[in-house]
Amino acid sequence: MEIGKSFIAMLVGTVALAGSAFAESYKCNVRENGIYGGIPKVLAFSVNDSEDRAVIYYALINKLYGKPIEAELVVANPKRYTFKWTVVVPVNGQKTSLATNYRATYLKRTHRISVRGFPKGVHMDIGGTGSCVPVE
């Protein structure tokens, strides 16, 4: 999925509406490591000026929620951002759901990102790595 200007505008708008000034947004292209799926090929994230809030957005989040979701910013220092979030996908007519916990680390110097997913109730993890570019 190609992230267009409206996609990025929604991401930036969400950070502004969250009550904090917009600081940095990135578009990342991610290559999956493995065969299991579940890692977005393209994702965008944004961090506010005070580096205490982040939002993330990609195709599945758009399909499920229609807007970016907040991610917990676990680490924000001069070298990296690490954040985590959970995506819940309804299955079987919404009576059950499949939840996956995600964790991503973005390295500021190299603009590289590592994304891992941990589907609940399954003894495996999924992952991918890629590169990010700042967006305005």
**Residue ranges per structural domain of the chain:** 5-135
Please work out, in degrees rounded to the nearest 5, the angle formed at the alpha carbon of residue 36 by the alpha carbons of 44 and 7.
20
Mean pLDDT across 30-58 = 89
For 49-80, give the DSSP string: TTSS-EEEEEHHHHHHHSS-EEEEEEEESSSE
> Is it the case that residue 55 has pLDDT exceeding 90?
yes
5-135 adopts what CATH topology? Answer: Lipocalin (2.40.128)
Mean pLDDT across 2-30 = 63
Mean pLDDT across 63-68 = 91
Please list, in sequence order, all residues whose beta carbon lies within 8 angstroms of the beta carbon of residue 116, skipping any fewer than 6 positions away. 102, 103, 104, 125, 126, 127
Indicate yes or no: pTM above 0.85.
no
Please indicate whether residue 47 or residue 14 has the higher confidence score (pLDDT). 47
Tens-place pLDDT, residues 76-107: 999 999 999 999 988 876 677 889 999 999 99
